[in-house]
Amino acid sequence: MAVRTILHYPDARLRRAGKKVVGFDDALGRLIDDMSETMYAAPGVGLAATQIAEYWQVFVVDCAPEGEPSDLRVFVNPEIVSQEGSGTSSEGCLSFPAAREDIERAEKVRVRAQDRNGVWFELETEGLLAVAIQHEYDHLQGILMIDRLGPLKKRLLHRKMVKRAEAGAAASG
C-alpha cells in the first residue's frame, strides 16, 4: 500500500470522468488499498480514484465517528438509483484543502455498486454517508464541489484555490 498524491483544484485532471471497471484483479485491489491509505493519511472520509489521477469508477468512504472502529466501504461502478429529500450541509474535499462550503444534496440515497470482488450490492442510506456517496460519485463524473455553488461563492472559492496553488508553486519552485 502507498499514500498517493491527491490532485488539488484547479488541476484540470479533476474534470476527467472515470471509466467502468471491468477487471476485478490484483491491480484493482492495490488501487483500492492505496486509495484507503491515502484517504486515512489525508485525513478524510472519502476519496475517488479520479482524485489521485486514476480514471476508474471507484471510490472509498469511511464515515465512522472518531474513536469508533473503521467502517471502510468500497464502491466500484456505482450508480445512484434513487434520491429523496433535500438538505444542506457543510462539506470539505481533499481536492480543496482547508475549504468548507454549504452544499445542497439529497438527504437519502440508494446506490447500486460492486465491491472490490465484483459482487453487486445496493445500499440505502442517509446522513453523512449519503452526503459522502453523492460527493464521491460526483468526482467520478468530473463534477466538483465548486460546481454546486452559486456564482459568487464559486468565484470566491476559485480565487482562493488559485492563490493557494500559485503560493505552493512559488514555494516549491
Q: Give catalytic residue positions.
A: 136
- Assign 54 to helix, strand or coil: coil
* 141: DSSP letter: T
Instruction: Give residue for cell 479520479.
Output: 50
Measured between alpha carbons, how far is residue 109 from residues 12, 34, 97, 103 in Å?
Answer: 29, 27, 26, 16
Nearest to 44 by CA among 65, 31, 62: 62
Alpha-carbon distance 112 to 99, whole Å?
A: 30
Relative to beta strand 108-114, strand 46-48 is: unpaired
Name residue 127's amino acid.
G
Q: Is 146 exposed, middle or buried (0-12, 13-18, 19+ CB in 10 A)?
A: buried
